[in-house]
Amino acid sequence: DFGSNEELITVESYASLEDAKSELTTNFNQVLSALEDEKKEVNLADNQKGFADIETDGNRWHWEIQSQIIQ
């Protein structure tokens, strides 16, 4: 639901940096497309290397790749 103003934090791990970048771009595009389908006004849509943000009047999505090696 894109109008819920709900706070949610998730953490995922990937086998490679390329996998993480691909998933970040996929998530960004899916949320942006869903917002456009619902005719929501998007104030900010920024997809950079390693992070992405989408902001509407009522919600904000932020994705960030953090490189930490687990041993």
Q: Is the pLDDT of residue 3 over 80?
A: no
Dihedral angle, C-alpha 19, 21, 23, 28, nearest 10 °: -170
pLDDT at 8: 79
State the average pLDDT for the chain: 87
Dihedral angle, C-alpha 66, 12, 52, 4, nearest 10 °: -140
Q: What would the pLDDT profile of 7-64 be if each residue is shown by its tens digit? A: 778 888 888 889 999 999 999 999 999 999 999 999 999 999 889 999 998 889 999 9
CA distance 7 to 60: 9
Residue 53's Cβ-count burial label (10 Å; 0-12, 13-18, 19+) is: middle
Q: What would the pLDDT profile of 16-30 be if each residue is shown by its tens digit? A: 889 999 999 999 999
CA distance 64 to 54: 12
